[in-house]
Amino acid sequence: MEIASPALALALTHPPTHRSQTCVARPYCIVQPRDAKDVSVVIRIIDFFKVNFAVRSGGHSPNPGFSSIGSQGILIDLQRLDAVSVSAGKTVATVSPGARWGDVFSTLDANQTSIIGGRIPGVGVGGLILGGGLFHTSGRFGLAADNVKSFELVKSNGDIIKASANQNADLFWALKGGGPNFGIVTKFELYTVPTYLVWGSILVFGVDQANEVLAAFDQWQNHGSDDVKSTAAMVITLDVITVFLTYSDPVPAPPPAVFAPFNAITPLAVALPPMNVTFKAINQLASAGTPNTPGRHDYRAFSSRIDTALTQEIYTFWRGKAVAARDSFGVNQTFVIQHIGEGLRQVGISKGGNALNIPPGRQQWWTTLVDWTNPEFDAQARQVSIDTTTRWSQRAKERGVDLPFLYLNDASRDQNPLASYGAQNLAKLKAIAAKYDPKQVFQKLQNGGFLVSKA
């Protein structure tokens, strides 16, 4: 186990360790455990002395205090717990929380196998899985959390336990989407999936084609997505629209009708011609536009039923405000819609259920990535997405397409995703947290995160 003194702490808390400068803080010290036993020692000391702490897996979240802490506490940095291995039969991958998804998929590629994980190479393993974990093939195989065989977890009293369908089953359920409320996960066993090679293509459109692309995306959501092997992902920036198409079989071409709405629009460019590729390659291409330089970032979450006219209306509203924010404050942001089909929900149920309580039926989860550099403009940078989701919620209720659900991994600091799981699931999560952490170490001493005590 490594312990960094205050003199070294500042260097270890700046990017690239923390992706967003909104999260940079200087802890009293940083502890870097190498295994679960080290984590056990640290958490026992924290409990004994009642020390405030934060836990960092990959530091990707832009929410201040979620994986950082100031001089009042200790930062438990899991980056040395970064082992990745594949079982002899290639049915299970064992992954530690400090690993980054880029390294995970490099190891999987070498073994010609795959899992349900993260889409951005620089994201850490731990936080993504504990929040659910949406992947390219989640429509077919469920969320990353749905594909966990077991969790190794260190409790607040230092005990190291396992949670699976057959052992501590209530905790197993809670860890699938319940966030950082129950202990520190030090190992994930993940089932592999039979999708090493997949068909993929990336199309680039102009922003003047936005209404056409949004309509095509909704045609796919309402029809093409019935083929659960198909996935369309759409990212709209202020300058360009990128559509990622995948079909989770290595075929010469998907069934013609699946992506027909997109093929009917002439793109500005084809960034990836149709071919069979691995998810490692797709993730690298998908992350090419993600900022990797120091800056300030924010997310925001929203969900609704599919309503093309309303989405086009809200996009126009968002774009007007987003362009003004860029011109006035140097803020860049995206408009991203992620399709969630009934198949994804049913897969989760068939694998024992998860904590999210995703509403039934077709729906879409919206998110944004907001990037800026000047801390003086923090409020202005965040206001566009706040105004957008406020307007969208109001109009969705008027049109009968509103949903209360918020995806935890996309939620901003002022949102309450755990409450959106419903009163029954939230009460169950609170009871499980109290059972496995009776002294409420993770509720009272943990610096931040979406905690059940605050939901």
Instruction: Give the residue among 160, 187, 190, 33 at the shortest CA–CA distance from 96.
Output: 187
Q: Is the pLDDT of residue 13 over 80?
A: no
Asked if 30 and 12 touch (Cβ cutoff 8 Å), the reply is yes
Task: State the Cα–Cα distance between residues 432 and 169, nearest whole angstrom.
Answer: 11
Give the confidence band of 107 by pLDDT, cuts at 50, 70, 90: very high
* Percentage of the chain lying above the pLDDT 70 cut: 95
Reported as a single tens digit per residue, the pLDDT across 338-380 is: 999 999 999 999 999 999 999 999 999 999 999 999 999 999 9
CA distance 40 to 307: 49
User: How far is 381 from 404, CA to CA, in rounded Å?
Assistant: 24
pLDDT at position 218 is 98
CA nearest 97: which of 157, 40, 34? 34
pTM as predicted = 0.95
CA dihedral of residues 324, 327, 328, 329 (deg, nearest 10) = 110
What local confidence, expressed as pLDDT, does residue 22 receive?
Answer: 83
β-strands 52-56, 2-4 pairing: unpaired
Question: What's the mean pLDDT in 250-272?
Answer: 94
Please provide the average confidence, as pLDDT, over all residues in the chain. Answer: 94
Beta strands 296-298 and 335-340 are: unpaired
pLDDT of residue 15: 44
- Within 8 A by CB and 6+ apart from 49, the residues are none
Q: Is the pLDDT assigned to residue 18 strictly greater than 60?
A: no
Q: Alpha carbon of 168 to those of 175, 289, 348, 360: distances in Å? A: 11, 41, 18, 27
Find the range with the poorest average confidence among 143-157, 207-221, 285-299. Answer: 285-299
Q: How much is the pLDDT for 24?
A: 85
The span from the CA of 55 to the CA of 181, in Å, is: 11
- 51-64: average pLDDT: 93
Structure tokens at 417: 């995703």
What is the rounded distance in angstroms from the CA atom of residue 172 to the CA atom of residue 156? Answer: 16
pLDDT digits (tens, 9 = 90+) for 268-323: 999 999 999 998 888 887 776 666 667 999 999 999 999 999 999 999 999 999 99
As a whole number, mean pLDDT of residues 21-48 equals 94
Model confidence at 164: pLDDT above 50: yes
Burial label, 46 (beta-carbon count in 10 A; 0-12, 13-18, 19+): buried
